[in-house]
Amino acid sequence: SRASDEMGYSLPKRVSQYVFLVPGDSAQSATFLFSSVEIIRLGNSFYIDWDRKMYYPLNDTPAQARTTTLNEELGQIKYIFSDKTGTLTQNIMIFNKCSIDGKSYGDVYDLEGHRVEVTESTPKVDFSYNPLRDSKFSFYDVNLVESVRRDDPPTHKFFRLLALCHTVMPEEKKEGTLVYQAQSPDEGALVTAARNFGFVFRARTPETITVVEMGETVVYKLLAILDFDNVRKRMSVIVQSPKGELTLYCKGADTIVYNLLHPSCGPLKEKTTEHLEEFAGEGLRTLVVAYKDLDEAYFEGWRRRHHEASTALVEREEKLAQLYEEIEADLMLLGATAIEDKLQDGVPQTIETLGKAQIKIWVLTGDKQETAVNIGYSCNMLSDAMDDIFFIQGHSSEEVREELRKARKKMKPDTFVEDEGSGSDTQIQQPGKSQILPEEQPNGEYGLVISGHSLAYALEGNLQLELVRTACLCKVVICCRVTPLQKAQVVELVKKYKKAVTLAIGDGANDVSMIRAAHIGIGISGQEGMQAVLSSDFAFAQFRYLQRLLLVHGRWSYIRMCKFLAYFFYKNFAFTLVHFWYGFFSGFSAQTVYDEWFITLYNLVYTALPVLGMSLFDQDVDDRWSLQFPQLYTPGQENLYFNKLEFVKCTLYSVYSSLVLFFVPYGAMSNSVRSDGKAVADYQSFALMAQTCLLIVVSVQMGLDTAYWTAVNQLFIWGSLAMYFAITFTMYSDGTYLIFTASFPFIGTARNTLNQPNVWLAIFLCVTLCVLPVVGFRFVKMQLRPTISDKVLSRVRELEKRPPVPLPKRRLQRSISRRSGYAFSHQHGFGALITSGRNMRPKSPFGIMGSFSPNSEKHKD
């Protein structure tokens, strides 16, 4: 697993080195350890697959554990790196508002001119006049429909652009029933909006685009597609109308398109910017649309140069980029679109719960800062209750450094005194020294928002340390306008400087690098395909299931694995150290203190099932309390349940137990006689008594470590003890000795030893002496120095006596200025695929593409 290979956080791998410290048959112990670990991991993975509370019925998607090696790491997460679109939001885009020629559409007003909130009872615009409408589309502002129907030129040009400038593929299996296959939900929403307002994208070939404009079918020649990429942040198409008019239509981010506008668009640009600020304040995703009329002679020359650049063998991309910049200059602004991407159900509650578990959440998104910040408030990540929210927007390395240091100085003023005294900034980066930064506690609760261009400077070598020290002091970090590569770089940065388990969650192809970079990757099967799921370790359909995966399954898996490892070392150390004490009395010969059959069956039969039962079914509290008290998750982050100190404690307790298990039977057997006067102080009787004491003690210890008793646990523990006595009496019987004389020499030892009261009294004494220190230590520790888990468990026991009180719901108020948010989720290269025709069927699914009209007789009611 990535977590175990890169950090050493896999518990079995980290402690496997200790297996060979166990005297005796270490190979058998190691084999039992790793085989048991795989069984435990497999069982806990099945629990995730079978969890009905992580099943999403709307698209029939259960949770899926795609690996079995990372279950316990789910209980140790400190940092979550999340995408926004499709992960926190539904990625189901709805055309909500728009700005056309300086006029804003989409709001609903009452008779007095006051804006009213749109609800389910708000009357919708009637699109029944359009036979090719999408019945699922909803819009509430009738003014936009009236503008379209009165043939307003800017409005018609606006929706004509939406119907032409895209890479959507139409499908019409039945005449008049259109289904759009969009590369991104944003494009699908825009084309669907144009369709309902009377500009229906009907069909396309590599050379043409067919649009039904207000009932009339128009076939445009598709001359070029200027494709989208992460640098351009826009796309354009060049089409020729049936009248021979050449037009370039462009849509993209406002910061990009604004730089390409003609100077005469200044007043309209200011008005559109006001609308963009308003749209972004409501959390809407925006695009700016513009056009340009082209001269035919100029275009022919440009087209020839474009062909030469596209076929060039050297610097092809650079030449094409220059040509795109040339022809996209001096655009005429049309307006802007605003698309709503609603939050998924339960996202605010999930993030709030994870925050209480001391998990820090970093949002890495390609959207603009204003949209991301607004979503941060909606998700309960950011709040006005925070001491401060820092915005890093520097345009140079020095500016970014100064802003980061200023933020860190406010969060932890003494950090600069420490730096000056220790020179830690330089020491940590020296070769051969540890790069792990210590955990620092801020003097309050803070958030950090950093833009994409500032992040590019911060990820440079000389600023990486400053970024990670400042960001890790914050409760929430939001990185805006980041590329897929930058997402992975941010994750790698935290992994490099922090001793913490990281988790990345996303739903699209642009999140794959981030998912693969983190210790644990989670894919959400949403609207953007299965690339993220196929690259992930765990997968489910909704972000809200993350809290159950971590706080329930992850925590349980971590606790179970820690208990298994502690019990494994205890029972094996206690088992083998008895041989060490026996050596002082046997001259350190090859003589074993136990019967050789007991040695063989100890790990394989007598103690195998009880520890597996505990490791598969144990839970300190049920899932309801795990979610209600997220503080229970914090011990796993600090690895408190199994570490070097716990291993030393386990070893010392094993040494003590082995002393009791040897010397109590030795003392009980020395110079003792049976009730009939015959001596029992022989080797075979001592061996039987010692191994019986050992098995009962480790079984009682198993009972003490078990917090959740089930019928399976009872069966395994009592069944293992019963099996031991049954096998012992069978192997030590006269019949077995007569059949296998050389293999079973302990004839009659069981019936002659275990029928003596003093033997059982010695066994009881062993159990008491071994268990009392454990019970006493745990009681005193809970009274004098209770841990967070002890306090929460005590509270849980109180609350279990009465039904839990529901937590009050609170509404967060926010007041912060915002601007427009960029929404575009294309992949580069799709335009070339369309113009090549490789993704199109050889035969059109309908045969009247160029002559169909919604005003034909068959469509008139």
pLDDT digits (tens, 9 = 90+) for 707-722: 899 999 999 999 999 9
pLDDT at 838: 62
**With contact defined as beta carbons under 8 Å apart, do 173 and 166 qualify?**
no
- Three-state secondary structure call for residue 399: helix
pLDDT tens-digit map of 460-493 = 888 899 999 999 999 999 998 888 899 999 999 9
Q: Over 80: is that where the pLDDT of 84 sits?
A: yes
- Three-state secondary structure call for residue 161: helix
The stretch 785-808 carries a mean pLDDT of: 74
Q: Which two tokens stand for residue 405?
A: 């240091």
**With contact defined as beta carbons under 8 Å apart, do 374 and 338 qualify?**
no
What is the distance between the alpha carbons of residues 204 and 219, in angstroms, rounded to a whole number?
9
Binning pLDDT at 50, 70 and 90, where does residue 829 land? low
The stretch 66-81 carries a mean pLDDT of: 92
pLDDT tens-digit map of 306-350 = 999 988 888 888 888 899 999 999 999 999 999 887 788 889 899
What is the distance between the alpha carbons of residues 226 and 250, in angstroms, rounded to a whole number?
9
What is the distance between the alpha carbons of residues 485 and 505, in angstroms, rounded to a whole number?
15
Q: Exposed, middle or buried by CB within 10 Å (0-12, 13-18, 19+), for 670?
A: exposed
- DSSP assignment of 711-730 equals HHHHHHHHHHHHHHHHHHHH
Q: Pairing state of beta strands 89-100 and 476-479? A: unpaired
What is the distance between the alpha carbons of residues 621 and 629, in angstroms, rounded to a whole number?
10
**With contact defined as beta carbons under 8 Å apart, do 301 and 258 qualify?**
no
Higher pLDDT, 511 or 671: 511
What's the Cα-to-Cα distance from 526 to each of 88, 487, 509, rounded to whole Å?
11, 20, 11
Q: Which amino acid is at 598?
A: F
492 Cβ contact list (under 8 Å, min separation 6)? 517
* 620-650 CB burial, b ≥16 within 10 A, e <16: bbebebbbbbbebbbbbbebebbeeebbeeb
580 Cβ contact list (under 8 Å, min separation 6)? 23, 658
Binning pLDDT at 50, 70 and 90, where does residue 423 land? very low
Catalytic residue among 5, 49, 60, 83: 83
Q: Exposed, middle or buried by CB within 10 Å (0-12, 13-18, 19+), for 128?
A: exposed
pLDDT at 115: 82
CA dihedral 635, 636, 640, 643 (to 10 degrees): -170
**With contact defined as beta carbons under 8 Å apart, do 733 and 802 qualify?**
no
Identify the H or E element spanning 175. Answer: none
Q: Which two tokens stand for residue 531?
A: 């690339």
Identify the H or E element spanning 582. Answer: helix 555-586
350 Cβ contact list (under 8 Å, min separation 6)? 543, 544, 546, 547
Maximum C-alpha span of the chain: 123
Q: Over 90: is that where the pLDDT of 218 sits?
A: yes
- Three-state secondary structure call for residue 447: strand
Q: Over 70: is that where the pLDDT of 836 sits?
A: no
Q: Which two tokens stand for residue 696?
A: 């009962």
- Three-state secondary structure call for residue 225: strand
> For the packed helices 555-586 and 26-50, what is the interaxial angle rounded to 10 degrees?
160
Q: Over 80: is that where the pLDDT of 412 sits?
A: yes
pLDDT at 426: 37
The stretch 25-42 carries a mean pLDDT of: 80
What is the distance between the alpha carbons of residues 697 and 694, in angstroms, rounded to a whole number?
5
What is the distance between the alpha carbons of residues 85 and 73, in angstroms, rounded to a whole number?
26
What's the Cα-to-Cα distance from 47 to each of 67, 511, 556, rounded to whole Å?
13, 27, 11
Q: Over 50: is that where the pLDDT of 854 sits?
A: no
What is the distance between the alpha carbons of residues 519 and 500, in angstroms, rounded to a whole number?
9
The stretch 647-671 carries a mean pLDDT of: 90
Binning pLDDT at 50, 70 and 90, where does residue 386 land? confident
What is the distance between the alpha carbons of residues 340 and 284, in angstroms, rounded to a whole number?
5
Binning pLDDT at 50, 70 and 90, where does residue 852 land? very low
pLDDT tens-digit map of 347-371 = 989 999 999 999 999 999 887 777 7
Query: What percent of the chain is modeled with pLDDT above 70?
Result: 85
496 Cβ contact list (under 8 Å, min separation 6)? 435, 464, 468
Binning pLDDT at 50, 70 and 90, where does residue 650 land? very high
What is the distance between the alpha carbons of residues 50 and 673, in angstroms, rounded to a whole number?
58
Beta bridge partners, 115, equal: 109
In this structure, the number of other CB atoms found within 10 A of the CB of residue 576 comes to: 20
Higher pLDDT, 536 or 809: 536
- Specify the residue for token string 């008005």: 271
Residue 391 has phi, psi (to 5 degrees) of -115, 115
394 Cβ contact list (under 8 Å, min separation 6)? 400, 401, 402, 403, 454, 457
What's the Cα-to-Cα distance from 288 to each of 9, 322, 373, rounded to whole Å?
47, 21, 20
What's the chain's Rg over C-alpha atoms? Answer: 35
Average pLDDT of every residue of the chain:
83
pLDDT at 361: 92
Higher pLDDT, 452 or 428: 452
Cα-based angle 608, 613, 618 (whole degrees, multiple of 5): 140
What is the distance between the alpha carbons of residues 227 and 167, in angstroms, rounded to a whole number?
9
pLDDT tens-digit map of 153-167 = 999 999 999 999 998
Q: What's the residue count for the chain?
A: 861
Q: Over 60: is that where the pLDDT of 5 sits?
A: no
Q: Which two tokens stand for residue 553?
A: 């399954």
**With contact defined as beta carbons under 8 Å apart, do 823 and 186 qualify?**
yes
The answer to whether the predicted template modeling score (pTM) of the entire model surpasses 0.75 is no
**Active-site residue, 83 included:** yes
**What secondary structure letter does DSSP report for 496?**
H
- Three-state secondary structure call for residue 331: strand
**With contact defined as beta carbons under 8 Å apart, do 336 and 287 qualify?**
yes
Beta bridge partners, 822, equal: 286
- Specify the residue for token string 């339960």: 346
Alpha-helical segments (H) within 125-178: 142-149, 153-164
- DSSP assignment of 790-851 equals HHHHHHHHHHTTSPPPPPPP-----------EE-----TTHHHHHHHTTTS-SS-S-S-TTT
Q: Which two tokens stand for residue 159?
A: 């929706």
What is the distance between the alpha carbons of residues 240 and 577, in angstroms, rounded to a whole number?
89
What is the distance between the alpha carbons of residues 543 and 348, in angstroms, rounded to a whole number?
10
Q: Over 60: is that where the pLDDT of 519 sits?
A: yes
**What secondary structure letter does DSSP report for 242?**
T
Binning pLDDT at 50, 70 and 90, where does residue 424 land? very low
pLDDT tens-digit map of 729-769 = 888 877 776 776 767 777 777 777 888 888 899 999 999 99
pLDDT at 242: 92
pLDDT at 764: 94
What is the distance between the alpha carbons of residues 257 and 252, in angstroms, rounded to a whole number?
6
Binning pLDDT at 50, 70 and 90, where does residue 25 land? low
Beta bridge partners, 82, equal: 363, 505
Q: Pairing state of beta strands 64-65 and 538-540? A: antiparallel
pLDDT at 208: 92
**With contact defined as beta carbons under 8 Å apart, do 148 and 102 qualify?**
no
Q: Pairing state of beta strands 501-506 and 77-82? A: parallel
